């Protein structure tokens, strides 16, 4: 079963690699950079804290992204220990610095979908641009050959789960509601 998944992942990477162009390379590097360490999502949450309408969302995003980081980066990555596809490539084939940690699940994707899920549940109109950016960041990870497609899909699922756990929790605690 695992070999079939790996074969599928390898085929998907080959197909995505055929999409590469100079313009897309720049877009994907920019998108993935926005997702580094959940920067764009923490920055969004901090801005939300300054506006009463979005304060609860800002708090929920910070908690959801932190929770997703713990489960994805600390627990699951170390448990699974999947080697990244870029570790099989020559350095000159990479468009970004070779990440040192394990591959499964994609942390960029996990944090992106945790933050986006919070906004889908709390303020769907604001969630539309966030969802577009989350999908772009997630795709960039496979495009840049630092994650397999299943890493990205698992990251999206984990992020959605974390967002779905955090929103009811934040809404049930009066101190988080503004």
**Domain presence at residue 71:** yes
**Domain presence at residue 165:** yes
pLDDT of residue 164: 97
**Domain presence at residue 13:** no
Say if residues 117 and 68 touch (Cβ distance below 8 Å). no
**Domain presence at residue 32:** no
Distance (Å, whole) CA 27 – CA 159: 23
**Domain presence at residue 48:** yes
**Domain presence at residue 66:** yes
Q: Which domain holds residue 74?
A: 40-176
pLDDT of residue 127: 92
Which of 79, 92, 50, 98 lies closest to 158, judged by CA? 79
Number of domains comprising the chain: 1
Helices assigned H by DSSP within the chain: 2-17, 22-35, 39-49, 55-69, 77-80, 107-122, 124-143, 149-172
pLDDT of residue 81: 79
**Domain presence at residue 74:** yes
Distance (Å, whole) CA 156 – CA 160: 6
Instruction: Specify the CATH number for the domain of residue 135.
Output: 1.20.144.10
**Domain presence at residue 19:** no
Say if residues 110 and 68 touch (Cβ distance below 8 Å). yes
pLDDT of residue 122: 94
pLDDT in tens, the chain (178 residues): 778 888 888 888 888 888 888 999 999 999 999 999 889 999 999 999 999 889 999 999 999 999 999 999 999 998 987 878 876 766 556 777 777 788 899 999 999 999 999 999 999 988 999 999 999 999 999 999 889 899 999 999 999 999 999 999 999 887 666 6
């Amino acid at each position: 079963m695992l070999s079939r998944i790996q074969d599928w992942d390898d085929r998907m990477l080959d197909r995505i690699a055929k999409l590469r162009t100079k313009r897309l390379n720049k877009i994907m590097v920019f998108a993935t950079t926005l997702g580094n360490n959940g920067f764009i999502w923490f920055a969004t949450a901090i801005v939300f804290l300054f506006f009463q309408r979005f304060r609860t969302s800002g708090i929920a995003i910070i908690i959801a992204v932190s929770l997703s980081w713990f489960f994805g980066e600390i627990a699951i990555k170390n448990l699974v220990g999947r080697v990244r596809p870029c570790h099989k490539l020559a350095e000159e084939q990479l468009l970004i610095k070779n990440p040192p940690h394990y591959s499964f699940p994609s942390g960029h994707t996990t944090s992106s979908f945790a933050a986006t899920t919070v906004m889908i549940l709390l303020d769907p109109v604001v969630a539309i641009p966030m969802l577009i950016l989350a999908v772009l960041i997630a795709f960039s990870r496979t495009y840049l050959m630092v994650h397999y497609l299943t890493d990205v899909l698992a990251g999206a699922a984990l992020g959605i789960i974390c967002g779905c756990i955090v929103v009811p929790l934040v809404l049930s605690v009066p101190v988080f509601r503004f």
